[in-house]
Chain A
Amino acid sequence: AQTVTQSQPEMSVQEAETVTLSCTYDTSESDYYLFWYKQPPSRQMILVIRQEAYKQQNATENRFSVNFQKAAKSFSLKISDSQLGDAAMYFCAPLRGATNKLIFGTGTLLAVQP
């Protein structure tokens, strides 16, 4: 079974600083996709960033970027210039390519200190 590990239940960062959230996963598939979603207190799940496993280049979306290490099955999220609105639960979610099913980790709760 595919598993996802987010080893940091909680993280804290100062406003304007940089923070990295870690994620490792296990998969036997060669073609797959990886996502980070954030869930603020409203509980709406919001897509943060998407990475295709066949691409070596790390995805970037404004202040959000990933460090994708395919051989190590690692997919960390870096948030630069952290803002108060970044405070949320962040979920790493690989997608099973064959069935299009997302597998969610248990999440990392990020607090942003002013």
Chain B
Amino acid sequence: DGGITQSPKYLFRKEGQNVTLSCEQNLNHDAMYWYRQDPGQGLRLIYYSQIVNDFQKGDIAEGYSVSREKKESFPLTVTSAQKNPTAFYLCASSRSGTGYEQYFGPGTRLTVT
């Protein structure tokens, strides 16, 4: 079955530690995205990548980093510089070009204490 996987589903970290969230897709999509969702809010774009070895900052990129070494994978690192990292993180992918729908993974709930 084609789809997007994110692991783990729940992640707990101590303040000051970096943590990497995994996102893998087998839909053969060129574009991949990372969103953050906070309670009572919609999704906000963190980073996106339209092609391998290239990515751009979204609306709330501070304190996050990404890499795109493979078409299938787009890991997100939440660094210690992110002031409020506890949130629900969603990864998505789409075909490249304008107007294509984005398909989402199941999400990772990150809790930092």
B106 lies within 8 A of A42 (CB): yes
A100 and B45 within 8 A (CB): no
Whether B40 is near chain A, meaning CB under 8 Å from some CB there, is: yes
Is A78 close to B, CB under 8 A? no
Residues A97 and B99 in contact, CB atoms below 8 Å apart: yes
Contact with A along B15-52 (1 / 0, CB 8 A): 00000000000000001010000001111110010100
The answer on a CB contact under 8 Å between B99 and A102 is no
Interface string of A77-114 (1 = CB under 8 A from B): 00000000000000101010110111011110000000
B89-112: which residues lie under 8 A (CB-CB) from chain A? 90, 92, 94, 97-104, 106-107
Please name all residues of chain A whose beta carbon is closer than 8 Å to the beta carbon of B8 when the two chains form the complex: none
Which bucket holds chain A's interface residue count?
20 to 34
Q: Assess whether B45 is in contact with A44, with CB atoms less than 8 Å apart.
A: no
Within 8 Å of chain A (Cβ to Cβ): is B63? no
Contact of A100 among B42, B98, B103 (CB under 8 A): B98
Which residues on A sit within 8 Å (CB–CB) of B101? 35, 47, 50
CA distance A35 to B100 in the complex (A): 10
Q: Are B98 and A107 in contact (CB under 8 A)?
A: no
Give the interface size bracket for B toward A: 20 to 34
Q: Given that A43-B106, A45-B90 are known contacts, is A104 also in contact with B43, CB under 8 Å in the complex?
A: yes
Given A97-B99, A100-B31, A100-B98, A45 and B104 touching (CB < 8 A)? yes
A15: interface (CB < 8 Å) = no
A33 at the B interface (CB under 8 A): yes
Bound complex: CA of A98 vs CA of B50, how far in Å? 12
Residue from B40, B45, B48, B98 having most chain A Cβ neighbours under 10 A: B98
Tell me if A106 and B42 are in contact (CB < 8 A).
Answer: yes
7 closest Cβ pairs, A-B complex: A104-B42, A45-B104, A33-B99, A104-B43, A97-B98, A106-B42, A47-B101
